[in-house]
């Protein structure tokens, strides 16, 4: 008779979308997690069907976490500062909050603590960048099994045959792996619209290289159900309580 499958509790909590693994360990350490009615301990292993309960304190801690939507301009990196370029999070200051943001939060310095990009935009790309304190949001957008759509407007130079347009939609290989099917079509005479469900490094630029196109400009306009909309370049807003990506 085979041994029953067991998983580390923090991994199961992350797999269920309850929180990130790091958050799970923190909640367990604080006594905020019960498994099948018993207080959880750090490092414990459980079966995949275990009943997990989060305390009111854990739920409150999650409710306090913020997600920020930034219209990243060119010249900023998504994550850590590099080669003299500032990280996009340096734009999250009160004076750059969009006047059209109707979310109820008042800006607090605590909202910057642990704020990290959930996905990247290259230094020479613009558009919607998500910065979050919430591990659940990060998992939804960049977790191993994420298939949230990201939509881009891509200005290009060069000619594109119907056959190569079909290859952009499905048929290209990067880093030795076949890309997931995409949706790519002409927006106008020099601009393509891309919808992807994955995010390899500089993926769109490399896809265009493979079919003889040069990317002149790239702007992300949507992540899942959340649109860039009228958010001006260099400004930010909070994710509203009624907004979700998936």
For 134-161, the pLDDT digits (tens) are 988 988 998 877 889 999 999 999 999 9
Say what the pLDDT of residue 1 is.
53
Calculate the CA 4 to chain-centre distance: 34
CATH 3.10.290.10 placement within the chain = 7-63
Say what the pLDDT of residue 143 is.
80
- pLDDT band per the 50, 70, 90 thresholds, residue 115: very high
Q: Is 64 a catalytic residue?
A: no
Say what the pLDDT of residue 3 is.
64
Mean pLDDT of 42-67: 88
Interval 30-39: pLDDT, tens: 999 999 999 9
The answer to whether domain 67-145+226-238 has CATH 3.30.70.580 is yes
Give the separation between CA 235 and CA 246, rounded to whole angstroms.
24
Please pick, among 15, 25, 122, 164, the residue that the annotation labels catalytic.
122
CATH topology of domain 7-63: 3.10.290
Please compute Rg for the chain using Cα positions: 21
Mean pLDDT of 219-240: 97
CATH 3.30.70.580 placement within the chain = 67-145+226-238
CATH topology of domain 150-223: Pseudouridine synthase (3.30.2350)
Interval 169-207: pLDDT, tens: 999 999 999 999 999 999 999 999 999 999 888 999 999
pLDDT for 74 beyond 80 = yes
CA dist 168 → 22, 178, 181, 187, 218 (Å): 37, 11, 8, 15, 16
CATH 3.30.2350.10 placement within the chain = 150-223
Say what the pLDDT of residue 14 is.
83
């Amino acid at each position: 008779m085979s041994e029953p499958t067991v998983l580390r509790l923090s991994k199961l909590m992350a797999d269920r979308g309850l929180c990130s693994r790091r958050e799970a360990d923190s909640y367990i350490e604080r006594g905020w997690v019960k498994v099948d009615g018993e207080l959880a301990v750090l490092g414990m292993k459980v079966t995949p069907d275990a009943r997990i309960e989060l305390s009111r304190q854990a739920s409150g801690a999650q409710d306090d976490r913020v997600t920020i939507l930034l219209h990243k301009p060119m010249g900023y990196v998504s994550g850590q500062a590099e080669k003299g370029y500032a990280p996009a999070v340096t734009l999250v200051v009160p004076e750059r909050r969009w006047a059209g943001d109707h979310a109820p939060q008042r800006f607090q310095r605590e909202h910057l603590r642990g704020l990290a990009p959930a996905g990247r935009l290259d230094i020479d790309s613009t558009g919607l960048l998500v910065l979050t304190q919430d591990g659940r949001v990060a998992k939804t957008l960049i977790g191993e099994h994420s298939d949230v759509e990201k939509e881009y407007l891509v200005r290009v130079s060069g000619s594109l045959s119907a056959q190569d347009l079909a290859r952009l939609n499905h048929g290209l290989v990067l880093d030795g792996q076949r890309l997931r099917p995409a949706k790519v079509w002409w927006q106008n005479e020099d601009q393509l619209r891309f919808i992807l469900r994955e995010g390899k490094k500089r993926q769109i630029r490399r896809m265009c290289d493979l079919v003889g196109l040069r990317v002149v400009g790239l702007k992300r306009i949507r992540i899942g159900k959340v649109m860039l909309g009228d958010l001006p370049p260099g400004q930010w807003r909070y994710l509203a309580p009624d907004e979700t990506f998936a």
